[in-house]
Chain A
Amino acid sequence: MFLWFHKLGSPPHFYRIAGKWIPWLNWMFLVLLVAGLYGGLILAPPDYQQGESYRIIFVHVPSAWMSLFIYVAMAVCGAIIIIWRMKLAEIVLISSAPIGASFTFLALVTGSLWGKPMWGTYWVWDARLTSELILLFLYLGVIGLHNAIDDKRTAARAVAILALVGVVNIPIIHYSVEWWHSLHQGATVTKFDKPSIHWSMLLPLLLMALAFQVYYVLALFHRCRAEILRRERNSKWIEEL
């Protein structure tokens, strides 16, 4: 078990495995995406309150989920870096950050696009949008710190510590912002909360979430491979490629 873990952790091995997986992941992503979009945009009935415009949740909600998921994944990598100093975890952490930031950005954009028909304005200081915005800053901090440090292994350690600090703070920030929102907005309806959701909407939503998940892995593999090539450009196994 440990040996397997160790082997997977070696960059050349990961490079090859990831290379083999990428075509399969491409197909999986495509199938899930088409199924999810078809279910969400065509099969699912319009919402009785919001009409057609609610359909943006099929992009918005999965990207918001991914934005959190990726940060947690980064923090897990951070713990691995600090405890075992595993190179692959460094690469995964660094490669995840821009993907996570993109999902966060996507969630913000779709959220405000959704806000226009709902609230009549692109931006309201809604609790979730606000926490998503702060999450974006956290991602940008990770990317900025990594870029600022020249030695990439030192940078990875710095970013690992930052990701762990961030992951402790995310729930605190999230609940603080939610509390702040409930305090200042009083009893306005939070449009993102749905008491119950019909399966014809839930199913495409889950399919889309799965598609985004696969997309993350796919993008991660691509970025990791590029990062591995960059880091190990001087080593023997790369010259043999």
Chain B
Amino acid sequence: MSQRLSLSQAFAFLLRRDLLLALRNRAEYAMPLLFFVLVITLFPLALGAAPELLARIAPGIIWVAALLAAMLSLDSIFRSDFDDGSLEQILLSAHPVAVLVLAKVCAHWLVTGLPLLLVAPLLAEMLGMPAAAQPTLLLTILLGTPILSMIGAIGVALTVGLRKGGIILSLLVLPLYVPVLIFAASATENAATGFDSSAQIYMLVAFLFLSTSLSPWATAAALRMSVS
């Protein structure tokens, strides 16, 4: 009899499998990114293109848009696995489900959160954000979006079994996003106005550790609830 894979191998396997699936469904995963860009273009159209106004509200706009884009993409973490029964197989795995969930959330972040990093500098430039603030903006996105995926995973896991999960999902998840929004937007704003933003960055790091260590357990419990 052969042995089962080690936990890290299983983690890597599932991560790779989800990335492969994303690669084969490219069009679907490009949507949140498109949405992110689209929402940000709406603001100058609604508020007028006065450069000083846009520059002032740019950090807030970018982060609100990132929040909405993250929320829009959440459903894809578990939806297709739930629909075709793969989720049952994952829950029946010999490995701890929380670790497998972490692999799926990591994969999801790599395909939906990370791309925001690529377009954010462009959008920041379009909104006239000072160049000095851009490294901080990218850092907050790098630290903040995985938190959004972690928290969001709990929400999706709770609602994936529902026919109309979408609207409930936003009600569950958006209030929990508030701390990330506050600290990330404020860090960027501080950087744009030439102040120190290390306090906010440290808070985001703390949130990241906290959510990474707690969220997979809650998500696993919620998934067990959803399939039963």
Contact = CB atoms under 8 A, between A and B. Distances in A.
Q: Do chains A and B touch in the complex (CB under 8 A)?
A: yes
Interface of A: 82, 134, 137-138, 140-141, 144-145, 148-149, 154, 157-158, 161-162, 164-166, 168-169, 172-173, 176-177, 179-180, 183
Contacts of B178: 134, 173, 176-177
A168 B171 contact: no
Nearest to B167: A144
A184 to B, nearest CB: 9
Residues of A contacting B: mostly: helix
B179 A162 contact: no
Interface residues on B, range: 20 to 34
Cβ-closest 6 pairs across A and B: A176-B179, A137-B175, A141-B172, A180-B182, A157-B225, A141-B171
B182 A144 contact: no
13 contacts: A134-B175, A137-B175, A141-B172, A141-B175, A148-B164, A149-B161, A158-B226, A162-B158, A165-B176, A172-B207, A173-B179, A176-B178, A176-B179
A171 to B, nearest CB: 10
Interface string B156-186: 0011011011001001101110110011001
Interface string B174-206: 111011001100100000000000000000000
Given A164-B218, A165-B176, A144 B183 contact: no
A177 B172 CA distance: 18
Contact of A138 (B161, B175, B186, B228): B175
Nearest to A168: B214
A154 B159 CA distance: 12
B72 interface: no
A179 B186 CA distance: 10
Interface of B: 154, 158-159, 161-162, 164-165, 168, 171-172, 174-176, 178-179, 182-183, 186, 207, 214, 218, 221-222, 225-226, 228
A183 B225 contact: no
B182 A161 contact: no
Contacts of A145: 158-159, 168, 172
Given A158-B158, A161-B221, A176 B168 contact: no
B89 to A, nearest CB: 21
Given A144-B168, A148-B162, A161 B179 contact: no
A149 B172 CA distance: 14
Nearest to B174: A137
Contacts of B228: 154
B172 A179 contact: no
**Per DSSP, are chain B's interface residues mostly helix, strand or loop, or mixed?**
helix
A177 B178 CA distance: 8
A137 B172 CA distance: 8
A125 to B, nearest CB: 12
Contacts of A162: 158, 172
A141 B168 contact: yes
Contacts of B179: 169, 172-173, 176
A121 B183 CA distance: 27
Contacts of B158: 145, 158, 161-162
A140 to B, nearest CB: 6
B171 A140 contact: yes
A148 B222 CA distance: 15
A169 B176 contact: yes
A177 B221 CA distance: 29
A80 to B, nearest CB: 14
